[in-house]
Chain A
Amino acid sequence: MATVASKLYSDDVSLLVLLLDTNPLFWSNTSTTFSQFLSHVLAFLNAVLGLNQLNRVVLIATGYCSCDYIYDSSLTLSGNSESGRTGMPALFGSLLEKLEDFIVKDEELIKEQEHDERIASSLLSGSLSMALCYIQRVFRSGHLHPQPRILCLQGSPDGPEQYVAVMNSIFSAQRLMVPIDSCYIGTQNSAFLQQASYITGGVHHAPKQLDGLFQFLTTIFATDLHTRSFVQLPKPVGVDFRASCFCHKKTIDMGYVCSVCLSIFCEHHKKCSTCGSVFGQSKLDGASTVSDKKRKAPDS
């Protein structure tokens, strides 16, 4: 399917879709500033593009309540650059502009919507879906295309309300054979990212020093898929497989599972809300009715 076709390119041509976390609530609370972070990322993008002439990079910004495509290296024309600015590579002029516009839009959106008590998570599910759509379009464009992968740069914690959507995206990526790498720069653990990398066969790493983020990015996440077969990349010790329940979107370790559609619930329900199948009586409750039944049988 996809991998066979992309063999027509040389092995190490890659399409990198970078999901950038631009959640303001997160960036206002970290020691590293967003500008430092951004410089590391931009240098990294440059490096990836420098590895191979045919490499492509796509940047998608993950905001608080929206996501958008920011940059596509195959579309940008070289040339008109804001050459007045010093030190800035010409390629990224439009990128930064678009990023700024996106942040403004996101701000407006957050004003409009109601404030609910929600964990300050970014819209990971949205950006994952957008990345997968782009990749699917690339697959359908023809025979010649590079090998796609997704790199998720995330700092915000997981939003359990996005559990279902994120899992669906992960499984679609698995089907498409697109690995999801994840670099978590936040303080807490991200179960979603760990699971994503584990299921799709990508790399997960949480670097301790954000000053050297560029080094982490180039040594671990710049390797293309072909090279990964002979390069030893860091392996996680364990994967956090916690899920969130479908009814309240809380993170749970133990719950009830519908045997038809595998939806997870934190408390006992009469009916599955996803597939509509009616659950039988649980063995734990209703012991009195069971003994009633036993008493009835000899009489009849």
Chain B
Amino acid sequence: MSDWQVKYKSSLKDRGTEGILKLREGILLFVPNDPTSDSKLKVLTPNIKSQKYTKEGSKKPAWLNLSNKQGDSHIFEFQNYQDMHACRALITKALAKCEEEQPKKPAAVLTSAEQLSIADLELRFKRLHKEFVETKVLTEDEFWATRKKLLGKDSIRKSKQQVGLKSMMVSGIKPSTDGRTNRVTFNLTSEIIFQIFAEKPAVRQAFINYVPTIFLRQMTEKDFWTKYFRAEYLYSTKNTAVAAAEAAEDEELAVFLKPDEILAQEARQKIRRVDPTLDMEADQGDDYTHLMDHGIQRDGTMDVVEPQNGQFRRSLLQDLNRHAAVVLEGRNIDVDSENTRSVAEALARVKQVSKADGETTKDANQERLARMSRLAEMEDLQAPQNFPLAPLSIKDPRDYFESQQGNVVNEPRGAGTLKRNVHEAYGSLKESILEIRTKGLRDPLIKPEVAFEVLFYPVVFRSLTQTISTAKNIIGKNPRESFLDRLPKSTRDEVLHVGKLKDAMSNSYSQLEAMKESVQSELRHQLSLLVRPMQQALDAAFQHYDADLQRRTAKSARGSAGEANGSV
């Protein structure tokens, strides 16, 4: 029915003229009952800019306020709210249709243009411009204005950064209070709605269930949110009795007041996946806040709650944990956030998907059980593990130490002989002391050869081996200098007793030869094999010495005549 009995008021204070409001194709017509009145109104629906209306719950009558593009406002008072809403709906429809018609052409073209590439877009754009502006359908300004708006929306959507969730908690949404009356107003943005749906899946589910998708959804949605905030208020008062009472009355409110079932189920799933070998006792031990004189008891454990109303409590820790978990999960859907219902549905879909992934299949279960049994082994239930054993070989450390020693010490003799020996020993000791007292210290204290040996034994040996080894390879070249070479020749010869050394070496050489001769013919070969390295070393030494000598004599001959040293 598109005719309503209304009262037309040009302003709020106006008493209003009664008449009939008719809505026809594109035209809103008001015909007053009184034919004499001249407040006939004809409004073209395209001209209607916006419409305002009063809320149902208020005590005001059902007013519909239409304002047109020229700035006038027409107020219609309906007989009941239903009429008003119906009229409003129809007007909205008409307005939408009008809007559609007007930029229909460019919008249609442009939506298809979005799917094309940029080059095509440009081409089309040029054509559009030519088409519309030249045919004067749109003015230049309007064309560009529309285009800009659409472009703007486009770019925002494409380059939109994934904005994360706010870390402010849902319970931090504070309403604005009207100081005079007892009403509070909550401003719900889509962000807040998204956050509420993310944190409280029960609320989301309730929304999907209770708020039907009919045209009048806005009202019911408001109802929904009103109930939700009423529940929050009840929580904050911590008055479980009142909460229980209200829950008993209002079914929908009860949904908000109960603990979140969906969350509980999720938590159960997670608990099942926890490793059972986790040492909870150690974790308990870390909890120092529950020790005496430590920590502040604020987590609600000290409060006394009646068991039947226990479900109407919610602790701060629960809220904090849930909020933190949601913020960390992040925003994983990208949906047009204007539509609350679509947000709810999208979130539900995401949860379904993740639940399906997380569900443990039979195989996964088996595997988990196997892993658990492996970790929590009980020694006496295990089969004996036969590892391949490596044989142990510990060497006796005494072998090392005893190999260091030279002669073996005499074993202590028997007891009887010991006494005799002891006496003897003491006697000899005393004799020694007497001897030294009479004779004094030895002179010389140390024989020089002995002293020489003690001092130079390691040095001589090293330099000898050095020279022999180098002489074997390169004869004639200068061997590596030992420090002995840096000494003046005379001292060096003295120190090394080169003459004596050479004699000794020749002696040993001839001795080796004699040895070879003396032995029987069949053994001679073996002996010569044994002796050969020694003979080779001696040969090399002699050769080197001779070469060195020649070099030195040559140098001294070249040097100053007065300083020619006699060669050895």
Contacts and interface: CB of A to CB of B under 8 A. Distances in A.
B425 A40 contact: no
Contacts of B419: 115
A25 interface: yes
Contacts of B466: none
B432 A38 contact: yes
A36 to B, nearest CB: 7
A53 interface: no
A85 B435 CA distance: 11
Interface stretch (A145-153, A206-214, A273-281): A206-214
Contact of B409 (A86, A115, A186, A208): A186
Nearest to A27: B429
Interface in A15-42: 22, 24-25, 27-29, 33-36, 38-40, 42
Given A29-B410, A87-B441, A110-B422, A215 B432 contact: no
A99 interface: yes
B428 interface: yes
Contacts of A212: 446, 450-451, 453-454
A25 B422 contact: yes
B418 A115 contact: yes
A227 interface: no
B426 A39 contact: no
A25 B426 CA distance: 8
Nearest to A186: B409
Contacts of B441: 39, 42-43, 87-89
A40 B436 CA distance: 11
B415 A117 contact: yes
Contact of B428 (A24, A39, A40): A24
Interface in B397-449: 397-398, 400-402, 404-410, 412, 415, 418-419, 421-426, 428-430, 432-443, 445-447
A88 B440 CA distance: 4
B407 A187 contact: yes
B425 A85 contact: no
A265 interface: no
**Quick one: which of A36, A157, A216 has the most chain B CB within 10 A?**
A36
Interface stretch (A100-108, A133-141, A162-170, A174-182): A100-108
Main secondary structure of the interface of B (DSSP, over half): helix
Given A24-B428, A215-B451, A120 B433 contact: no
Contact of B453 (A24, A33, A209): A209
Contacts of B364: none
B380 interface: yes
B137 interface: no
A119 interface: yes
A34 B428 contact: yes
A223 to B, nearest CB: 16
A216 to B, nearest CB: 7
Contact of B442 (A36, A99, A103): A36
Contact of B426 (A88, A103, A219, A240): A103
A189 B401 contact: yes
Contact of B405 (A28, A106, A187, A207): A187
A206 to B, nearest CB: 9
B455 interface: yes
A44 B412 CA distance: 32
Contacts of A293: none
Contacts of A39: 436, 441-442, 445
Interface string A72-104: 000000000000011111000000100110011
Bin chain A's interface residue count: 35 or more
**Quick one: which of A27, A28, A191 has the most chain B CB within 10 A?**
A28
A24 B436 contact: no
Nearest to B394: A254
Nearest to B416: A115
A10 interface: no
Contacts of A172: none
A98 to B, nearest CB: 10
B429 to A, nearest CB: 5
A228 interface: no
A43 B410 CA distance: 30
Contacts of A283: none
B442 to A, nearest CB: 5
A52 interface: no
A38 B398 contact: no
A28 B424 contact: yes
B421 A85 contact: no
A209 B454 contact: yes
B395 to A, nearest CB: 11
Contacts of A43: 441, 445
B281 to A, nearest CB: 19
A42 B437 CA distance: 12
Interface string B343-364: 0000000000000000000000
B422 A24 contact: yes
A103 B453 contact: no
A119 B410 CA distance: 11
Contacts of A214: 445-446
Given A24-B425, A120-B412, A187-B406, A86 B440 contact: yes
Nearest to A46: B441
A248 interface: no
Given A85-B438, A115-B415, A240 B447 contact: no
A188 B409 contact: yes
A103 B437 CA distance: 15
B446 A96 contact: no
A268 interface: no
A24 B429 contact: yes
**Quick one: which of B397, B404, B426 has the most chain A CB within 10 A?**
B426
A38 B410 CA distance: 23
A296 interface: no
Contacts of A240: 401
B426 A24 contact: yes
A36 B435 CA distance: 10
B442 A294 contact: no
A242 interface: yes
Interface of A: 22, 24-25, 27-29, 33-36, 38-40, 42-43, 64, 85-89, 96, 99-100, 103-104, 106-107, 110, 115, 117-120, 157, 186-189, 191, 207-209, 211-212, 214-216, 219, 238, 240, 242, 253, 294
Please give me the 7 A-B residue pairs with the lowest Cβ-Cβ distance, nearest first: A87-B440, A24-B425, A34-B432, A212-B454, A35-B432, A28-B425, A88-B440
7 contacts: A25-B412, A35-B439, A43-B445, A189-B402, A214-B446, A215-B450, A242-B401
Given A99-B433, A115-B415, 15 more contacts: A22-B429, A24-B422, A24-B426, A25-B421, A27-B425, A34-B432, A85-B438, A86-B439, A86-B440, A100-B430, A107-B422, A115-B418, A212-B454, A214-B445, A253-B397
